[in-house]
């Protein structure tokens, strides 16, 4: 299995986060924990949860193919697997299809298991640009986009008291089937990884041009689940929430 280079993973300090990766089918997760908390058993646990949850999603999609195909919220039975219900609820919150929640959902489920089993002081689980974080100290997460001149040179500061939380990212230039945004870059913070991923797509899709930013920011004020958000459209930047956007020197 070939995986695309993910150079943005190099922005995390190796002194602060001891990294390892786990791979299963077409999933490749980067995980970093503080060195004092690291245990080799974490890698086995992460791989176990990753494979279990991916297989669970694939089995459900085989029975309910529209769960994957739908670009709108898709109802599921209350007795569906918990991961499926979580993705469906996140999609309903964001006004998009459940597939939009998948990347952050996987990060979240693996991260929650590591926190429950090992209680690391700090942890990042990254899957396809979407993160699930637990922090001891503040962290500036860089904003990357192919069409952004200052890509990687500014970021959103995440405060430890806000974690654990999910961070979802998106761009309007990647051509993803579920992504119709024209934003150069989108970053969303939410309590759950599934929520953050789905919101990055669902709210991002509301941004067709720079003039949409004011309307989107007003909409976010009605969504308490959104901790913070950043939108970059052409040469304009819009920020929602109390988190600070900072230059990375």
R_g (Cα) of the chain, nearest Å: 17
- How far CA 172 is from CA of 5, 99, 177, 208, in Å, comes to 20, 17, 11, 9
Does 187 map to a domain? yes
Q: How many domains does the chain have?
A: 1
Q: How far apart (Å, rounded) are the C-alpha atoms in residues 190 and 163?
A: 10
Q: CA distances (Å), 196 to each of 17, 22, 87, 201, in order?
A: 22, 22, 11, 9
For residue 25, give the CATH number of its domain: 3.10.520.10
Q: Phi, psi (5° rounding) for residue 53? A: -75, -35
d(CA 91, CA 169): 15
Alpha-carbon distances of 39 from 32, 47, 133, 205, rounded to whole Å: 11, 14, 18, 40
Asked whether residue 24 is domain-assigned, the answer is yes
Region of 129 please: left (phi>0), alpha (psi -120 to 50) or beta.
left
Can you give the pLDDT at residue 170? 85
Q: Supply the range of the domain harboring residue 167.
A: 10-247
Q: From residue 108, give the alpha-carbon distance in Å to each of 83, 127, 172, 216.
A: 10, 10, 24, 26
CA–CA separation, 148 and 152 (whole Å): 9
The reply to whether 105 falls in a domain is: yes
Q: Tens place of pLDDT for every residue, the chain, 249 residues?
A: 334 446 567 777 889 999 999 999 999 999 999 999 999 999 999 999 999 999 999 999 999 999 999 999 999 998 899 999 999 999 999 999 999 999 999 999 999 999 999 999 999 999 999 999 999 999 999 887 666 566 567 899 999 999 999 999 986 544 344 555 577 889 999 999 999 999 999 999 999 889 999 999 999 999 999 999 999 988 889 999 999 999 887
CA 204 – CA 231 distance, rounded (Å) = 8
> Does residue 3 lie in a domain region?
no
Which pairs with CB-CB distance under 8 Å and at least 24 residues apart come from 79-87? Answer: 81/56, 83/53, 83/56, 83/57, 83/109, 84/56, 84/57, 84/60, 86/192, 86/194, 87/57, 87/194, 87/198
Coil, strand or helix at 16: coil
Residue 5 belongs to a domain: no
């Amino acid at each position: 299995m070939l995986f695309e280079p993910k150079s943005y993973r190099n922005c995390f300090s190796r002194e602060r986060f001891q990294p390892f990766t786990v791979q299963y089918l077409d999933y490749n997760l980067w995980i970093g924990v503080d060195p004092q908390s690291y245990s080799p058993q974490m890698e086995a646990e992460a791989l176990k949860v990753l494979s279990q949850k991916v297989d669970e999603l694939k089995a459900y999609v085989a029975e309910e193919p529209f769960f994957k195909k739908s670009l709108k919220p898709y109802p599921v039975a209350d007795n569906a697997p918990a991961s499926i219900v979580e993705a469906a609820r996140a999609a309903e919150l964001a006004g998009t299809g459940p597939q939009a929640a998948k990347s952050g959902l996987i990060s979240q489920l693996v991260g929650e298991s590591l926190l429950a089993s090992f209680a690391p002081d700090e942890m990042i689980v990254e899957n396809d640009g979407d993160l699930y974080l637990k922090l001891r100290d503040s962290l500036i997460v860089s904003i990357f986009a192919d069409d952004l001149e200052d890509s990687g040179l500014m970021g959103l500061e995440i405060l430890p008291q806000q974690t654990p939380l999910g961070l979802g990212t998106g761009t309007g230039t990647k051509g993803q089937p579920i992504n119709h945004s024209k934003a150069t870059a989108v970053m969303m913070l939410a309590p759950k990884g599934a929520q953050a991923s789905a919101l990055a797509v669902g709210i991002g899709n509301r941004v067709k041009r720079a003039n949409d930013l004011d309307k989107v920011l007003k909409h976010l004020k009605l969504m308490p689940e959104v901790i913070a958000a950043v939108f970059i459209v052409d040469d304009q930047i819009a920020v929602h929430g109390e988190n600070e956007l900072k230059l990375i020197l």
